[in-house]
Structure 1
Amino acid sequence: MSARDDARDAGLLLRFALDHTVTPARNDTYSQLLDRYHADPNLRTSFEETAAGLGVRVLTADRTTGLVLIAEASSPLAVKDTSPWLRIRDAADRMVYGVALGGVAAWCYPNARAVREPGTRRVTAVDVDRLVREHAAAVEAGDIGLDEGLGPAWHQYSMRKQASETRSGQLRRYCTVWMCERVLEMLGAFGLLVPDKTVAPPRADLKVWRSTDRFRAHVAATGGPLAWQTIVQSHVSDRVLFGDDEEDG
């Protein structure tokens, strides 16, 4: 292979890596390029240099998920606009969404072992809200201490209505279950969660989701959202999650 061939294949491999809907198991070209990425140092070097120039690095590269990437905040490939999913009016909304994101990660990966081992878990907005509220109640009661600066976020969450409905029976915007669903939809848009249609949702206006190894790779490599770290370090997650009948798939 010439340097030009390696550059072309590195670009094609990057294209596959940026498309979470494509996996090596379902695309022969992607599968062959991934094999070369592992076996051919020239292609791997070409790919990593190209990725580094774009402010991107590899989190994991395996046959199941393919190449999973993460972008630096300054990268042109970083997600800078979450408005298609998250409706943020002010700093308080931003804090609630941040806690909800940590709650999703904590429901799917309640401890360090879960982050290291392959496996998936069903999750709904009701699940996430229940976990966060149990933790928020323990914080309010003084049973759990928080790092400096985290208190207002948990307080904002606990002060919001859990599930308020419109006259038509739909969840009102900015109740916490509605906000948790927006976070789940955002994660689904990036392939970190996938819809699970094998079970009925808790409400007609919610979905059931299932975590992916792509999501696990992100949490494992980045340490997860700070709110996730806070939840998994407490005993609340053990009580809520391991008292649940849900099994990993």
Structure 2
Amino acid sequence: MSTPTETARDAGQLVRLSLAARSGPLSEEHAALVARYLAEPALRSATEATIDGLGLRLVDASAQGGLLLTSTGSDSPFRMRLADFFPRQTTSVQRRMLLACAMVASFVAFFPRPEDLEDSNERLRRRDVDDVDRLVRDVAARLDAEARERGEELDPPIDEPDLARAWTVWRQTSNSKKTVDGREREVGTRQIVVRCLDLLAEQGLLRTIVKGETYASTRRMQAMARELVGSLAWSQVAVAHPGTPEHDEEAAP
């Protein structure tokens, strides 16, 4: 039986491994700690106290995927802001809004129906960059048409950081721009989507099938997507993507 000190150390180790985890099978050490967390009340209590003390929140826990943690509060050292996604580039309001649109659309593209988020046996799936870009453009076009019908202002001020402006910015940004030698610059919406999907893959929420082209969802992404359901942004994107996609991926953690 573990001493309180050993239990506290194991709890800290489990949290450390969980924060560093990415997609794919858990390491032997990590899997053993997760199994103990699920079976031993003492370790579970110590781990949850550690999570709370670090300003984190437990989103999901399973033997396959481990502990999925997210930050709570704006002062958490684990919090990632949209501006952090482009550390060496402009962090303008426009850039952040484009990335926010792509982030929400990415989750909806992989899990378009409420039942997709709750079924642990749901087969996961692949999506292409163009699928996500097309989804956001569909949302932008629909909201634009609705605004015209209501006689509302179609182009609010550039410094107005609201959702309507975000979709307007996407609608006004070209899909892709190329340099004189034919390479794509990271200014078109397609490259924004690529950057977004790569970031999600770095966090273990997606698996990269073909970098810059095709990605596959994971159980970790499914759990995180449940956190976004109900938001205004999710609702607006989900309306534009009501169909049932093909199920073509085996389950991944």
TM (normalized to structure 1)? 0.84
Corresponding pairs, count:
234
Partner in structure 1 of residue 222 of structure 2: 216
- For residues 41 and 91 of structure 2, the distance between their equivalents in structure 1, rounded to whole angstroms, comes to 48
Q: Is the 8 A contact 1:193 1:212 kept in 2?
A: yes
Which whole-Å CA distance do the structure 1 matches of 2:114 and 2:90 have between them?
Answer: 31
1:27 counterpart = 2:21: no
SS in 2 for 1:57: strand
Unpaired runs of 5+ residues, structure 1, are none
Distance 1:44 1:214 in 2: 20
Counterpart residue number, 2:142: 138
Q: Secondary structure at the match of 1:162?
A: coil
1:23-46 C-alpha deviation (Å, 9 max, x unpaired) = 6x5422222221211121111111
Separation of aligned partners in 1, 2:89 and 2:115: 33
Measure, in 1, the Cα distance between the counterparts of 2:42 and 2:48.
10
Q: Which moved more, 1:70-79 or 1:94-103?
A: 70-79
- Report if aligned partners of 1:163, 1:172 keep a CA contact under 8 Å in 2: yes
Q: What residue in structure 2 maps to residue 153 of structure 1?
A: 166
Output the CA distance in 2 between the equivalents of 1:22 and 1:230: 28
SS in 2 for 1:214: helix
RMSD, aligned CA:
2.6
Q: Which residue of 2 aligns with 1:59?
A: 59
Q: Partner of 2:7 in structure 1?
A: 6
Asked if 1 retains the 8 angstrom alpha-carbon contact of 2:102 and 2:133, the reply is yes
- The answer to whether the 8 A contact 2:60-2:68 is kept is yes
Offset at 1:119? 3.1
- Offset of residue 167 of structure 1: 2.1
Give the Cα–Cα distance (whole angstroms) in 1 for the partners of residues 206 and 87 of structure 2: 14
How has the CA–CA distance of structure 1 residues 86 and 187 changed in structure 2, closer, same or farther, with 3 Å as cutoff? farther
Q: Is the 8 A contact 1:86 1:182 kept in 2?
A: no
Q: What residue is the counterpart of 1:98 in the other structure?
A: 100
1:185-204 CA distances to partner (integer Å, 9 max, x unpaired)?
1111111111114xxx7xxx
Pair 94,84 (structure 1): closer, same or farther in 2 beyond 3 Å: closer
Change (3 A) 1:248 1:95: same
Secondary structure, counterpart of 2:84 in structure 1 = coil
Gaps of 5+ in 2: 153-160
Q: TM-score normalized by structure 2?
A: 0.83
How far did residue 22 of structure 1 move? 7.4
